[in-house]
Chains A and B, each alone.
Chain A
Amino acid sequence: MVPALEDVAEERAGAVKIVKLDVDRSPIVKGEYKIHGMPTLILFKEGEPVARRTGGLVQKEKLEEWIDAALVLALADKVSSVPPRAVGFRLRNGLEVVVIADRRAPIVSHMVCYKAGAADEPAGGSGVARFLQQLTVKSMDKVAVGEFSKTMSRLGGEHKACATLDTTIYYERIAKEQLKTAMEMEADRMIHLYLTEEEVSSEREVITELRALSDPLARLFNYMQVAIFPEHPYGYPAIPLAGDVVNVSRREAMRFYKRYYAPNNAVLVVSGDVTPEEVKHLAEETYGKILANPDLDTRSRSKEPVPSTAQRVTLRDARATTSTFRRYYAVPSYVTAKRGVAEALEVLVKILAGGQTSRLYQKLVIADRLVATIGGGYAGTMLKSGVAVFHAVSRSGAPAAIEAAVDGVLEDIRTHGVTQVELARAKKALLARYIFDSSNQERLTGRYGWAVAIGRTVDQIESWPAAISGVTAEDIKRAAAEHLDIGRSVTGWLLPESDKASSAQAMRPLSRASL
């Protein structure tokens, strides 16, 4: 055996078994596996050959890279074939429908996604998207005020709604026999909203009061979002800043509603114990009766959101007990990215900030003990920009030291890239999350709804595992260098009012040395 093989056999004993076979003495094997050159390496997983190559691989690193890549690819293949798979079609009025048959429990999830959010509001951002979402929960023409919730409650269903920058969703989960009721009520919400001045003003008060209570972190995130997307609709805060929402009038709410709540501006996702045929039939009977809005414009996202200098937001608040760090980078989204870049960012952020083995955790929590927790994520399902987020809670570190350590970790990846072990681990974690989410109906439904609403296809969604497994170390290094650019970032700090109580260190440490 060549030394590289021996090393790998030894180091990975228990995980990989390496067997050498002289094909000249085993002609049957030679024929069965069509071996024409030597040496040929075949990697088997659960008895099935998952990769092969002929020649080369005398370097240990190359060999390991090949093994890891092949194993991840084998997993991705398996993940992609995991049921349930979706079926998509479109009604005559333009409503896009996605059905995911999933017979594991006698229930269904029903989600309507409107391609409208805070970024579609009139210039300046009035908060009308979210305001409207809250109002529609209350009032509909056929369904009297409050009846929607009462009906769902009597039937034992769950329902929720939310409005983000690009999308507004309404979601119900209910016994399968009640799917028709849910569709009737949701179709009613699409066309028959009726608002009185009185309801609008009482809901305005509720929202104004909620905003007064909003915690300082929510305020920080809001300011950061405005800072990172200046002069772009994404700079319209999802939770309006002071002074905005109280100005939303009934007329403005109705104007937004009539423009965007239409079948040709919506996606319907139904998952659970149903067939596509059943859903099609029910959808035609309910949503199918609603006329398309002929005046629907293409969505305007005026400028590419590219701030050119690093932004900074600092808040002090008496309620803050520790210093909280947050950084956003404006990066490509699944919609705006060149092929493979969004997936590379997904893996990159996972390596940087996902879990206790991540680069940032190892450096700032374990080695330098600057922060108590650190994490991050990549938000890639927006139309015009994605965001990479990193966040930490200080332990003893001063803000400047924490920022310097974070920047150091990022710089190291830009310069030196990531290891094969990190790459394989991160990919596997992402693929595993895909499988875990597949077992959860709400997440499964959301996977399709959010993505189709920004223009992704069912095929793109279902080939995501393969795209992730195709990410290379080189892709990641490039993504880090090109996109984690401080000039396209905003750094936020929430600090206590006085510096004394500023970190967990101020608290009593464990008293016993024996621990």
Chain B
Amino acid sequence: MSELRSPIRRILVALDDSPSSLFAIRTAIDLALCFRAQIVGLFVEDINLLRMAHLPFVREIGLFSIAPRPVDIDDLERQLRSQAERIRRVLAAAAEAHGIAWELLVKRGAVALEVMTAGADADLMVLGRVGRSYGQRPLGTTMRSILLQRPGLTFVLSAEVPKAAPVIVLYDGSEGANQALEIAATLVASDDGRLSVVLIAESREASQTLHEDASRRLATRGVNADYRAVRHPSLEGLAWWIRTLGSGLLVLPCGGHGLQGEGLCGLVEAVPNPILLVK
């Protein structure tokens, strides 16, 4: 692991007391073990909620009681603190069980902004695909901001990462693809798993070249892989290909082939797999 070109020393996990946050913690623990990294949890007290509590006519509808009730700012703050405390306990238990250094940051502000700000210092950010908001699309507003704006490595997940399924990596020979291949090889090697490489090329010859290149790189890591070649893929076609390869982790180099901006968001939405974005 220490052979990685971009060593991951600090992993930021965005946490919001949702079920996917638990998966995020587990995944962050696995990654921290793999890359010998430190975990930093981040819990943001949404400024919008606190503002809303001061509005005179706003009523809260309880999930169980349904009956509308006035929002009490003190009560709301206590609940937020309580959420943070729960997250602290879960994170502490998980990290300390594996001897991983950890800390929890509690910030108050706009969620997307705070996550982006805290993520600036992190080598890798792990966050749930869907947050606590009701009725969100497959990608929440925070997630969209991250996808569109955050450089570096970002791990997006909605459920537990299936261990048995093969890790999938897209490879087009670019710098980002080489980095993605290295990371995927590291993950596979540490977990004794399988690797599927999706070669994206313009021609059969180019595919062959990419195959040789990827094989050579993986051989140095002692990793074997299955190879699939995809020519001129649309985003929809690429998503279909990925789905056929199973529900394993997708290591996705961003930038080329429309994998940036809204295109990237579209692919992340279309693929249910956990995704490690490499920018």
Q: Do A and B originate from a single complex? A: no
Instruction: Please give the residue numbers on chain B whose beta carbons come within 8 Å of chain A beta carbons, in ascending order.
Output: none
Instruction: Please give the residue numbers on chain A whose beta carbons come within 8 Å of chain B beta carbons, in ascending order.
Output: none
